[in-house]
Amino acid sequence: MELDDLRRQWQQSEPAPPASLAHMLGKAPLGLIERMRRNAWAEIIAAPVFVLLPLLLLPGGLFRWLYIGVMVVLVAIMGAYYARQLRLLRQMEQAEVSIKGHLQVLCAGLRQLLLFYYRLTIWTGPLTLLVVLGYYLGHELARAAGPRWPLIGYVAGATLLLGVLFQLGVIRFTHWYLQRLYGRHLDRLESQLRELNEGELTT
């Protein structure tokens, strides 16, 4: 509804005031920017649960420390990601941003962030799988009785097969998840931007 008002104001002879734009896109109840901001904070709040729960279930030893190391790196990367995402959404509410520039910056900036999020999620699975296989192989090679090569081959093959199936599921779920939380709102903004451009050309 707020974007329909924005389109009508854009097509009028006088552009919408910046303060009105900030109200329509950022301050209005259930505005698109507010929805994406709430989704981002929901992810931030839920993240510690997904990080700490496996840590509580894992046995002690080298594998536990490997998990901690991977999570420290991942948390640092995602912390920078969410900081940039929230900063971008906050900048979109600034009153001095023009209507057209507002939508363009929002769409382009968040599309880049979501692409980074998607690629990071896709690559995290294979890298984690390699760490697990490396840990298992090192454990077998350190056995006093010698490595059990047939068992190593079986475990590696089964792990790779399950990893491929799991990765396919991760790809589909990540695409659906990002589209659900952010993509559909960006699609609506981009569609509205095209309508604004078409209205500008016809006036």
Residue 173 pLDDT: 93
Residue 171 pLDDT: 92
Q: What is the mean pLDDT of residues 45-69?
A: 77
Res 68 pLDDT > 70: yes
Amino acid at 183: G
Query: Residue 21: which pLDDT band, with cuts at 50, 70 and 90?
Result: very low
More confidently predicted of 35 and 18: 35
Q: pLDDT tens digit string along 149-194? A: 888 888 888 888 988 898 899 999 999 999 988 888 788 877 777 7
Q: What is the DSSP letter of 96?
A: T
Amino acid at 70: V
Dist CA 81 CA 77 (whole Å): 6
Dist CA 6 CA 138 (whole Å): 61
Nearest to 81 by CA among 49, 44, 54: 44
> What count of other Cβ atoms lies within 10 Å of the Cβ of residue 10?
21
Res 106 pLDDT > 90: no
| Lookup: tokens for 106 | 């929002």
SS3 of 48, please?
Answer: helix
- Report the share of the chain in percent with pLDDT over 90: 8
Identify whether the C-beta of residue 199 lies closer than 8 Å to the C-beta of residue 7: yes
More confidently predicted of 59 and 122: 122
Q: What is the mean pLDDT of residues 64-84?
A: 85
Res 18 pLDDT > 50: no
Dist CA 86 CA 82 (whole Å): 6
Residue 98 pLDDT: 53
CB-neighbour burial class of residue 149 (10 A; exposed 0-12, middle 13-18, buried 19+): exposed
For residue 13, give Cα distances in angstroms to 35, 96, 97, 200, 203: 31, 19, 19, 10, 9
Average pLDDT of the chain, as a whole number: 75
Residue 160 pLDDT: 87
